Amino acid sequence: MNDIANSKAAVVDKLVIIGAGLIGSSVARAAKQYCAAKSIIIADQNKAVLDEAQALAIADGYFDDAGEAVQDADLVILAVPVGAMASVGEYIAAHLKSGSIVSDVGSVKNSVLLALAPIISDHVHLIPGHPVAGTEKSGPSAGFASLFDGRWCILTPPDGVDAAACSTLKAFWEQLGSTVEVMSAPHHDLVLAITSHVPHLIAYNIVGTANDLETVTRSEVIKYSAGGFRDFTRIAASDPTMWRDVFLNNKEAVLEMLGRFSEDLTALQRAIRWEDGDALFELFSRTREIRRSIIDAGQDENAPDFGRKH
Ligand code: NAP
């Protein structure tokens, strides 16, 4: 738990979160729990989502009109799918207070920056962001306050952004328990292509392939899934809208990383065909080290089989 943050003063007065799904509702819960904002407002176009958020009592106000919600906001965080960022930005632009900060949580950064920069006025500080934390679930009930605790949050401020605004946004995420890193939007997209986007594509693909097999039945795939397959199914259960938008908006970086992946896969195919055990052993030893480094960096638990009960 982020106990230190509990005793700190609020970083902003009025926080508005647009999109009350997994990430938006988690930001609201964390901001409330760790007192990062004096008042927390949620806006969502979907009445059922808004009602669900209200029933969970995760904010101080609920709006179906994002334009109305952002009046007098100090910090606005767009937590909608990447493909919806531009239309939401366009809708709220005229209602934003001069000096306010507009950020987002989208999994792709350069397309969000390019879409929002021409829309958001020069009197508003646009600083895109991405908390590198999440689950395969969606919707307000899936959120939780500790989601960002001990996780990275990457900010991708455009050149010339106001330093004080950047410090405020950094302090906000730190209050939620994150460690903040700043990098350019294109670099973010390259890094996330290999650490997140391509792994999701591989999971979607392998689960799809298994589903289409004719020689192995679907019930056999499910029955024997503990052999490794089920770990891919968790990732492949992720939100279809969100992930469609990620691939459409990070096309170049994903294709670049997929090219590298395909080459390495071909090399593995060759090693199996030619029974090159040394090549296989060498790779599998290196990859085991990567797992160890992730655990050492506190980015996962050391429990065997992801801590499942047996
Ligand atoms: P989610 O649970 O599906 O929530 C998205 C919410 O935004 C939904 O309530 C959706 O309403 C609403 N929405 C969609 N278009 C809107 C619009 N034009 N105006 C207002 N609300 C709108 O998705 P999420 O997982 O929280 O993802 C939100 C963002 O976080 C995405 O950009 C994603 O890339 C990023 N992100 C996700 C993760 C993760 O692990 N899930 C991690 C880091 C960052 P409807 O139900 O009507 O569509």
- pLDDT, position 217: 87
End position of a domain, from candidates 156, 183, 210: 183
Residues 179 and 194 in one domain: no
Once rounded to an integer, what is the mean pLDDT over residues 187-209? 97
pTM, 2 dp: 0.94
Residues 168 and 25 in one domain: yes
Q: Is residue 293 part of a domain?
A: no
- Burial pattern 232-242, b for ≥16 Cβ within 10 A else e, equals bbebbebbeeb
Q: What is the CATH number of the domain that holds 155?
A: 3.40.50.720
Nearest to 231 by CA among 291, 306, 157: 306
What are the C-alpha distances in Å from 196 to residues 19, 238, 246, 279? 22, 12, 10, 26
Q: Is residue 306 part of a domain?
A: no
Q: Which residues line ligand 1 (CB under 6 A)?
A: 18-24, 44-46, 49, 66, 79-82, 84, 87-88, 105-107, 130-131, 134-135, 138-139, 239, 242
Residues 17 and 127 in one domain: yes
End position of a domain, from candidates 139, 164, 183: 183
Residues 178 and 196 in one domain: no
Q: How far is the CA of 215 from the centre of ligand 1 (A)?
A: 38
Q: Is residue 281 part of a domain?
A: no
- pLDDT, position 43: 98
Work out which ligand 1 atom sits closest to the CA atom of 239: 3
pLDDT tens-digit map of 25-42: 999 999 999 999 999 999
Q: What domain range is 59 assigned to?
A: 2-183
Q: Is residue 255 part of a domain?
A: yes
Residues 110 and 239 in one domain: no
- pLDDT, position 6: 57
Q: How far is the CA of 241 from the centre of ligand 1 (A)?
A: 8
- Atom 33 of ligand 1 has which residue's CA nearest to it? 106
Q: Is residue 226 part of a domain?
A: yes
Share of the chain above pLDDT 70, in %: 98
Residues 76 and 175 in one domain: yes
- pLDDT, position 310: 77
Once rounded to an integer, what is the mean pLDDT over residues 103-107? 98
Residues 111 and 212 in one domain: no
Largest CA distance in the chain: 67
Q: What is the 3-state secondary structure (H, E, C) of 284-297?
A: HHHHHHHHHHHHHC
- Atom 40 of ligand 1 has which residue's CA nearest to it? 134
Angle at Cα 230 formed by Cα 224 and Cα 236, nearest 5°? 140
pLDDT tens-digit map of 125-166: 999 999 999 999 999 999 999 999 999 999 999 999 999 999
Residues 127 and 108 in one domain: yes
Query: How many structural domains compose the chain?
Result: 2
pLDDT tens-digit map of 165-193: 999 999 999 999 999 999 999 999 999 99
* pLDDT score of 221 more than 60: yes
- pLDDT, position 214: 85
Residues 149 and 222 in one domain: no
* pLDDT score of 250 more than 80: yes
- Which H helix or E strand runs over 256? helix 251-273
Pocket test for ligand 1, best of 49, 152, 242, 249 (most atoms within 8 A of CB): 242
Residues 139 and 262 in one domain: no
